[in-house]
Structure formats: C-alpha cells, structure tokens
Amino acid sequence: MDINRQITSLLLEYLTIFPVVEIIGPRQIGKTTLAKNLAKSRSIHYLDLESAADRQKLSDPVMYLQTDSDKLVILDEIQQMPELMTALRGIIDADRKVGRFIILSSASPTLIKKKCRLLGWQNWLYRAGLTNAK
C-alpha cells in the first residue's frame, strides 16, 4: 500500500475516534489537500485563518462553529488565531462528537501539542512529513 493511502486510511480512522484531528507540518506539503480529500464525502466548513474574511466569521467562534454542528470544520493555519483554542475547548467539552474538527497548522508541532494538552484535549496529531504520534 502506498504512503498516501496509509495516511488517508489512518486519518479517516482517527476521525471516527476523536473530536479533533490535527495535521501539522511545513508549508506547502499538502496538508490542506489531504484534509479536503478526507472530507470529500461529508459536508464541511473550510476556514483559512490567514484570510481576514474567514477570521471575521469567527468573531463569535462559539456561535459560528455551533451552527451546522453536523458538518466537519477544517481550520487551516490555526496558529493565526491562537485564541480560538479556548473556544474550541468549550465546544468540544459540551459535545464530544467524533470527527468534528480537522486542525491544520504550519506552526511548531511541540507548541501546538503543548497548547492542546494544556486545554485537556484528547485528540490525534499527525505530523505531516515527519512521523505520527498519539
């Protein structure tokens, strides 16, 4: 089995276990493409947090993210809005439904994982291009 199928299969499995799946890696290696391909058969909300318009949509993140809560939300470049992590914690604590969020980041995996541990998330982290770890 080629590596792309292995990664896709593994990430799809973790979307059935955890509320949040993170894909972290260097810029321009295909994190966004991978996330969108994982969500092909689902309704999604895709937000690029490098876009001012998408950041504006999250001026009230709880309100925005709880509407259509049956959709998978892909948050690309989450390091652009670190304050969003606190809102996500409350949303996830209120409803532990699996496969709700895919978080993409070009930031340091150590910093993101530390932040998620601080918030008490149980999630799965895939370090694109490096390794995978629970």
Rounded mean pLDDT, 88-113: 81
Choose among 54, 44, 109, 124: nearest CA to 84: 54
Note whether 36 and 74 are within 8 A (CB). yes
The tokens for 75 are 């948050």
When the pLDDT of each residue in the chain is averaged and rounded to a whole number, the result is 80
Gap between the Cα atoms of 79 and 12, Å rounded: 23
Q: DSSP label at 23? A: E
Q: 111 vs 81, which has greater pLDDT?
A: 81
Domain ranges, residue 78: 3-133
The domain total for the chain is 1
Gap between the Cα atoms of 126 and 109, Å rounded: 9
Domain at 26, CATH number = 3.40.50.300
Mind listing the pLDDT tens digit for each residue in 18-65?
888 888 888 888 889 888 888 787 888 899 999 999 999 999 999 998
For residue 75, the cross-strand partners are 47, 103
**Per-residue pLDDT at 133:** 39
pLDDT at 68 over 90: no
pLDDT band at residue 131 using 50, 70 and 90 as cut-offs? very low
Scanning the chain, the segments in alpha helix (DSSP H) are: 3-14, 31-38, 52-57, 61-66, 84-94, 109-119
- Phi, psi torsion values for 96, nearest 5 degrees: -85, 25
